[in-house]
Each structure stands twice: as structure tokens, then as C-alpha cells.
Amino acid sequence: MAEHYDIIVIGGGPGGYTAALKAAGLGIKTAIVEKEKLGGTCINKGCIPTKALLHASSIFQALQNSDEFGVSTDFISFDFKKMQNYKKRSVKAYRKEVEELVKAAGVTVIWGTATIRRGRTVEVNGPGGKDYYEADHIIIATGARPVMLKIPGEDLPGVLTSDRLLASDTWNYDRLTIIGGGVIGVEFATIFSALCSHVTILESEAHLLGPMDSEVSQALEEELRRKGITIHCKAKVKEIREESNQGLVCVFEVNGEEQTVRSGQVLMAAGRAPCLEGLMGQDVDLKMEHGHLKVDSEFRTSEPGIYAIGDVAAHTKLAHVAAAQGTYVVEKIGGVGHTIRLSVVPNGMFVKLPVVPSCIYTEPEIASVGLTREAARACSMKVSCGRYSMSGNGKSIITREQNGFIHLVFEEYSGTLVGAQIVCPRATDMISEMATAIANGLTAEQLMLAMRAHPTYSEGIGAAIENYFETKGETKQ
């Protein structure tokens, strides 16, 4: 007889383990099926290892420029293997936290690969053979994996995904070509250029970071070029060739003109696709939409009792989005009120505002939440903006990181904050204040009620609000 659970979660990444922990907290009998390690892409081969390498490489970069601050270093170098070991220890430490939380909550972990069969039966192929489990509810949280472009040479040794690059111990990155100027592309460019690699980005669109506010992507492009990174936008990559003494040669076209770039390694960072292999048994047919599992606004798939959350279903592939969706689904199943909002419709407005902070760990950092000015105008919302250049911010002057700005977008009549884009050090932390403001429908006046400590980068938020009032011809006392 198959063992029965109230909820079986397939996939132990941030979406899956957050859902399981929430369920266990509500007294729901829960199991996670996982084929590799708890923590998923985020902890094992995504956010955590990448940010660890960003941290290590930024220390190396800071030391190269330390003379400005009166700190002399005769000789500085880095040991890539040691850096990778530090990254591995960070990953392990964080994964251990999650493993302990899961254990303490009483969630069962079933090791193996899950296939969903008819009647919400889950077949698990594990180290000990095949087992069957039954559930009232199944939550699919299997994530996504890097897409390899189908071009000649994509299978050459040295053509890597972010998974393989993060796992490599030996330095072979004096010249690195990155195909794709999205989030992964620009973060890896930041790491390797800080480690003195000659980095080239080939991006098919007109700008890096396509969905970002155009001023933000323009500012990032300028900053990356200033660091010595070569950027080719509107680049159509045709093939990768291996040439003796040349390493790998990427052949690409810009405006019909063929060009080449040579490097030791090529990173494919042209997007991620849902992990669905073997997930659906022959007797289960979950509907797909635009290459992802189709879900409704409650994350229900086309089969009753089966939900899908995170990268396998969402176009916004972010760990915190997966976790929020997992929480939302479990609260719905458990019949308790929702504690998290993915979007809000503030009083008197008919437009839904996304409350999803998006953070990019370049230097300076980039963070945004809610609507950009263009997005607000596209949904016919009248807006006024407050802007501030970080060149005059005290903390930025101290740290010599003045190439940043803050844009705040307010709905014209009510003064409610509907969006924020921040480019400066610690932008990824500062954006939380803006997300809280949007989730609670706060206005510019309400945001001004709290003082911001001096000297901090956050003072820039206060200055941007002041600028909004000045632009509207209102003076705040």
C-alpha cells in the first residue's frame, strides 16, 4: 500500500522547501521528493555560489584600488581554487541550515526522481529502487536549467553553462566570452572582469538586461564598458569554432557584418528552461503555455490538486518569487489567510502593482520593484517621478562609488509610490523599503515621515522624494 501524505512537494529548492516548511508549520503531513540536494539551484548552483564569488572577486578588485584610501598593498593575487573552496563552504553552510530546518519541522525527505501518475500517485525512483506515494495535493517545484543554444560548436569542451563554470576549480579564464547579457551574463561578467579576465558579452537584443528600465540598462552598459568589458548588442551568434592556438572563436553578426571574438572559455547565459524530464507519467497530461507549465492565478495546473510554483511555471525566475508562491499555495490549501502579496491594487487604483523586488549584484548593484515610468505609462497611469543622482550622496563620496541614481515613480493624483529603480551600492538591501511601501500603498508624504540615518546610501531615497515634491511644485516642510 502506497504511503499517504497531505502534500507531496517535488523539488527541494527555495520554492519547494519553503512550501514544505510552511505546510509542516500548519500541521500538514508533508514530504519533499528530491533527486540531488536540498536547496535547489539557488543554494547549490545559483544565487549563493554566484554571490560568494562576487564577494570574493570584489575584495580582490577593492585591493587593486586601495591606494585611494591610503591603504598600500605591495603585491596582491588571488587563488581561484581557494576562492572556489570558500564558495563551497558557503554553499554547504547554508544548505546545512535548510537541512536542519526541514528535519526539525518533521518534513519527510524522499530521495529520488519523481514521476506523477494518475490519481495523484507519485512514483519515486530512488537509490533503493521504485516506491509509490499518494497525496491529496502535489506541488511541483522542479525549477529550471540553463538553455544551450543550438548552434554549431555548442558541445565543444570549454563551452560552459553557469552550473559547470561554478563547479570548475582551475583558472582558465584569461579571456571569457559570455553569450547573453541578461542577469547571469552581467553578474558573471562582473566576477571575471574583477579578476582581470578580458570579458566580452554578446547580446542579441539592443540592450543588456532587456526587461529593465532603459536608463538602468544604459547606466550598467556604461559602467561595464568603463571596467574594460567589451559589449556587442544586436549580436547574432552563428557558431563557435575551436582553432589551434586560438582557443574558442565565436562567430557573430552585428547589423549584417560578421565579426569574431577569441577566448579560452564561452559561457552560455541565454536563458533557462523548466525541468520537466520524466515528471509526467503517460497517464498524466499537464497543460503547457509558452514553454512553461500552465497555471492559473492560484498556481493550479490543469490537473485538480496539482500545483506548480517557481521557475518551472513562472517567467520571473527568482528564488524569493518561488518561495512566496509556495507560501501562497500552502496557505490556500491550509485554509489560512495569506501572509504574502505578489501584487497589490492600492486604494482608488485599477492597476495591479507587482511587489517583486528584482536585484542584480553588479557593481554598482541594481534593484527595482513595481512599475518603471514606461510601464506605468503603458498601462495609462499618470505618474510623476522623483530622481536623485548619488554623486552628491555623502556615503557615496566616502566610498568613491558615485555612479548611481534613484528613480521613484509616484501615481500623479494620490502620490502613491508605484515603482522604484535604484542603482548604487547596497541597492539590493535598500529596495526592501520600497517594496514595503508599495505593498502598503504608501504615499510620498508617508515615506517622508521617517528620517533616514546620516551618512547612508538610503538618504538618497529621501532626496529623491524631495525632488518629486520640487518637480510637482510642492514644498515639504
- Catalog residues that contact ligand NAI under the rule CB under 6 A: 149, 179-185, 187, 202-205, 210, 235, 237, 269-272, 317-318, 359-361
What is the biggest distance separating any 2 CA atoms in the chain, rounded to whole angstroms?
Answer: 73
Give the residue with the Cβ less far from ligand NAI, 213 or 411: 213
Q: Cβ distance 107 to 27 under 8 Å? A: no
**Residue 198 and residue 425: Cα distance in Å, rounded?**
24
In the complex with ligand NAI, the residue whose CB is nearer, 202 or 435, is 202
Q: Is 51 labeled as ligand-binding?
A: yes
Nearer to ligand NAI, 203 or 221 (CB): 203
**C-beta of 126: minimal distance to ligand NAI in Å?**
29
Query: What angle (nearest 5°) sits at the alpha carbon of residue 360, between those of residues 358 and 361?
Result: 140
Report whether 356 belongs to an annotated binding site.
Answer: no
Residue 11 CB-density burial (10 A; 0-12 exposed, 13-18 middle, 19+ buried): buried
Catalytically active residues, by annotation: 454
Evaluate whether 207 touches 297 at the Cβ level (below 8 Å): no
Q: Is 34 annotated as a binding residue?
A: no
The verdict on whether residue 283 carries a ligand-binding annotation is: no
Residue 209 beta carbon to ligand NAI: minimum distance, rounded to whole angstroms? 7
Q: What is the smallest separation between the CB atom of 188 and ligand NAI, expressed in angstroms? A: 9
Is 186 marked as a binding-site residue? yes
Q: Is 337 marked as binding a ligand?
A: no
Query: Which residues touch 97 (CB under 8 Å, ≥6 apart)?
Result: none
In whole angstroms, how close is the CB of 290 to ligand NAI at the nearest point?
A: 13
Q: Which residue is nearest to ligand NAI (CB)?
A: 182
Question: Is residue 50 within 8 Å of residue 187, measured between CB atoms?
Answer: yes
Min CB(411)–ligand NAI separation in Å: 27
187 a known binding residue? Answer: yes
Shortest distance (Å) from residue 162 CB to ligand NAI: 7
Which of 271, 445, 427 has its CA nearest to residue 357? 427
CA pair distance 421, 371, nearest whole angstrom: 9
Binding residue per annotation — 126? no
For 34, phi then psi, to 5°, come to -140, 135
Residues whose CB falls within 8 Å of the CB of residue 441, separated by 6 or more in sequence, listed in order: 344, 346, 347, 416
Least Å distance between CB 268 and ligand NAI? 8
Q: Nearest 5°: phi and psi at 448?
A: -80, -10
Are 357 and 432 spatial neighbours (Cβ–Cβ below 8 Å)? Answer: yes
* DSSP β-ladder status, 417-423 and 405-411: antiparallel
**H/E run at residue 33:** strand 30-34
Least distance in angstroms from the C-beta of 140 to ligand NAI: 18
Looking at the Cβ atoms of 114 and 427, the one nearer to ligand NAI is 427
Backbone angles phi, psi at 56, to 5 degrees: -65, -45
Q: Is 98 exposed, middle or buried (0-12, 13-18, 19+ CB in 10 A)?
A: buried
- Beta carbons within 8 Å of 47's beta carbon, 6+ residues apart: 41, 319
Query: Is 87 or 317 the residue whose CB approaches ligand NAI more closely?
Result: 317
Would the annotation count 386 as a binding residue?
A: no
Which residue's CB is nearer to ligand NAI, number 54 or number 140? Answer: 54
| 254 marked as part of a ligand binding site | no
Helices then strands, counting H and E runs in the chain, come out as 13, 26
Q: Which residues contact 438 (CB under 8 A, 6 or more apart)?
A: 344, 353, 355, 369, 370, 417, 418, 419, 420
When the beta carbons of 106 and 210 are compared against ligand NAI, the nearer one is 210
**Cβ proximity to ligand NAI, 195 vs 267, nearer residue:** 267
Query: What residues form the annotated binding site for FAD?
Result: 51, 311
Query: What residues form the annotated binding site for NAD(+)?
Result: 180-187, 203, 271
